[in-house]
Structure 1
Amino acid sequence: MTAERPITVMLVDDHAVVRSGMRAFFDLVDDIEVVAEAVDGQDALNRLGALAAQGQTPDVLLLDLVMPRLDGLTAIGVIRERHPDVEVVVLTSFGQTERVQAALEAGAAGFLLKDAEADELAAAVRAARRGEMHLDPGVARRLTRSLMPGRDTGRDLTKREHEVLTLIAQGLSNREIAGRLVITERTARTHVSNVLAKTGCGSRTQAALWAVRQGLVPSPADQP
């Protein structure tokens, strides 16, 4: 076992065989522990609420997108609003660019397809716990190709805006950016707005992927 406590995970999928398979794999991984399961988005919210009341909120949710009652995409937004310390990694069978973008916009920290290797699943959980984004390599390539080109380069960005863009690509919030750069949150918000305007991007996710496309930050598919 590692010296630190294991990363705690909730499995959210309406197929029992999928949850069983993931649990069996994680039982063999020293630094990741499955602490709860849910059969759909609504069940996940209910269980998260109960766990939060006990001070036992999991670190990461592995979540399918297509489920009854409350679909995964809707659930992501509610989870991130109610439990901002819980990271969400999508594990689904559908990798259309629109689905991926919607999941990332909703607040997902990763996106994997169900044919991913087991080691990649563990890597995505660990990355989410570190506050990093992990994407299926094929999905990442399609996303970067699908982006609106915006401006050709980042030459119009100031040095500070380059720093902010790098932190956006790492998934940091305005508050976290402010803390990292030792500036006020209001100033960080202004820098983020300037970055979006100058890159022609409509969201933080698009700005992060634009930065990857321009070679300003490593692609999630290239990160260890």
Structure 2
Amino acid sequence: MSSPVIRLLLCEDQTLMRQGLRTILDLEPGMEVVGEAANGEEAVRRYGELRQAGLGPDIVLMDIQMPLMSGVEATAAILSAYPDARVIMLTTFDYDDYVFESIKAGAAGYVLKDLPAEELAATIRHVAQGEPFIQPSIASKLLIEFGRRAKGDRNQPQSAESGGEELSARELDVLRLLAQGASNREIAQQLCLAEGTVKNHVSNILSKLQVTNRTQAASKARERKLI
């Protein structure tokens, strides 16, 4: 008896990359691309439509950096509505923060776009069987970062006693860029977040530092050696 077909939703904002992935995966035995999305919001909407139509998807291939809503945010939204969803992050970024944020969002896999086609297909099959997968080169970095964070490095949330007013790791990331003069849009692009999410982080930062504007926030951050 043949194995059931693995139905895929491709979420990638670059048309050429998305079409290339579709061509490769449609040729792979036992796989079928049932939908595409060009931004994070469309990914969430399309996933829901396919589920309601009984078309899966069994696996979502999700790019991290997409317009309107990042891949990480889209993954979190999909998993919030459908806890059994399986998402593989397919990206050019192997930055530690991206990996951590993806795992926190509920991603079941994380691989780079330079992965050979046969290895991508194998990853999809692993995750479809319920086996989480992180590309080995990324996994080694992840273990190092886990150890570093466990020792209480600068990425740990700052406590009130240390002068950080309990800023989260992500808020510290935003604060550093804010202090460099970056706009919300520029911060969103660098951290692969939606601009609305950055606005929320900035608002939280101002509140926690008890200041009223970005200039004061940058000044207080330097004063307290947060950046």
TM-score by length of 1: 0.64
Distance 2:3 2:93 in 1: 34
> Which residue is 1:6 aligned to?
5
1:8 touches 1:59 (CA, 8 Å); kept in 2? yes
One-letter amino acid of the structure 1 residue matched with residue 145 of structure 2: S
Gaps of 5+ in 2: 152-227
One-letter amino acid of the structure 2 residue matched with residue 22 of structure 1: L
SS of alignment partner, residue 147 of structure 1: helix
For residues 170-215 of structure 1, the C-alpha deviation after alignment (integer angstroms, 9 at most, x for no partner) is xxxxxxxxxxxxxxxxxxxxxxxxxxxxxxxxxxxxxxxxxxxxxx
Q: How many residues align?
A: 150
Cα offset for 1:51? 1.5
Cα offset for 1:147? 1.6
> Which residue is 2:160 aligned to?
none
Cα offset for 1:30? 0.8
1:57 touches 1:86 (CA, 8 Å); kept in 2? no
Cα offset for 1:103? 0.2
Question: What CA RMSD, in Å, does the superposition of the two structures yield over aligned residues?
Answer: 1.6
2:34 touches 2:55 (CA, 8 Å); kept in 1? no
Distance 2:48 2:145 in 1: 37
- 1:130 and 2:129 are equivalent in the alignment: yes
Distance 1:19 1:125 in 2: 16
> Which residue is 1:60 aligned to?
59
For residues 100-129 of structure 1, the C-alpha deviation after alignment (integer angstroms, 9 at most, x for no partner) is 011011100111111111111111211111
One-letter amino acid of the structure 1 residue matched with residue 122 of structure 2: A
- 1:47 and 2:46 are equivalent in the alignment: yes
TM-score by length of 2: 0.63
Cα offset for 1:145? 1.6
Distance 1:36 1:118 in 2: 19
SS of alignment partner, residue 142 of structure 1: helix
> Which residue is 2:140 aligned to?
141
- 1:22 and 2:27 are equivalent in the alignment: no
Distance 1:146 1:45 in 2: 30
1:1-224 counterparts in 2 under 5 A? Answer: 3-148=2-147
> Which residue is 1:157 aligned to?
none
Higher alpha-carbon Rg: 2
One-letter amino acid of the structure 2 residue matched with residue 73 of structure 1: V
For residues 48-98 of structure 1, the C-alpha deviation after alignment (integer angstroms, 9 at most, x for no partner) is 222222122200000001000111011111111112222000001111011
Distance 1:109 1:48 in 2: 16
Distance 2:46 2:98 in 1: 25
Distance 2:32 2:85 in 1: 15
One-letter amino acid of the structure 2 residue matched with residue 64 of structure 1: D
Distance 1:92 1:142 in 2: 16
One-letter amino acid of the structure 1 residue matched with residue 26 of structure 2: D
Cα offset for 1:7? 0.6
For residues 145-174 of structure 1, the C-alpha deviation after alignment (integer angstroms, 9 at most, x for no partner) is 2222769xxxxxxxxxxxxxxxxxxxxxxx
SS of alignment partner, residue 17 of structure 2: helix
Cα offset for 1:26? 1.0
Distance 1:89 1:131 in 2: 12
Distance 1:84 1:58 in 2: 13
Distance 1:96 1:9 in 2: 25
Gaps of 5+ in 1: 152-224
Cα offset for 1:16? 0.8
1:59 touches 1:85 (CA, 8 Å); kept in 2? no
Cα offset for 1:32? 1.3
Distance 2:80 2:145 in 1: 28
One-letter amino acid of the structure 1 residue matched with residue 63 of structure 2: D
One-letter amino acid of the structure 1 residue matched with residue 59 of structure 2: V
